[in-house]
C-alpha cells in the first residue's frame, strides 16, 4: 500500500476514535499535539490500526514511536 493511502486511512481511524473533524496530518505531529490523544486513546488507536491493516505491532516498536511519521513508516514496513 502506498504511503499516501496509509495516511488517508490512518486519518479516518484517528479522527473517528478521537472524535475530531479536521485532524492535521503531517510527519512531525505527535500525540501531545492532538487533543484527546492520551495514554488510553493511544492504545485504542493502535488496536484499531492493527485490525484495519491486519498487522501486529510489538511493544518495543511502539515505544520507539515519537511522531506520526514514525507510525506511518512502521505501518508501511509491516505491510510490505
Q: Residues interacting with other proteins, by CB under 8 A?
A: 18, 35-36, 38-43, 46-47, 59-60, 62-64
| Residue 17 CB, nearest approach to other proteins (Å) | 9
Task: With beta carbons less than 8 A apart as the criterion, state whether 4 and 10 touch.
Answer: no
Of residues 8 and 16, the one with the C-beta less far from other proteins = 16
Cα–Cα nearest to 14, from 38, 55, 54, 3 = 38
Of residues 54 and 60, the one with the C-beta less far from other proteins = 60
* Location of C-alpha cell 515505544: 63
- Extract the C-alpha cell encoding 4: 499516501
| Residue 18 CB, nearest approach to other proteins (Å) | 8
Amino acid at each position: 500500500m502506498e504511503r499516501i493511502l496509509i495516511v488517508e486511512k490512518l486519518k479516518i481511524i484517528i479522527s473517528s476514535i478521537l472524535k475530531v473533524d479536521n485532524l492535521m496530518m503531517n510527519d512531525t505531529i505527535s500525540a501531545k499535539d492532538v487533543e484527546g490523544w492520551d495514554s488510553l486513546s493511544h492504545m485504542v488507536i493502535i488496536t484499531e490500526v492493527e485490525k484495519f491493516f491486519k498487522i501486529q505491532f510489538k511493544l518495543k516498536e511502539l515505544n520507539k514511536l515519537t511522531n506520526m511519521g514514525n507510525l506511518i513508516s512502521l505501518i508501511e514496513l509491516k505491510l510490505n
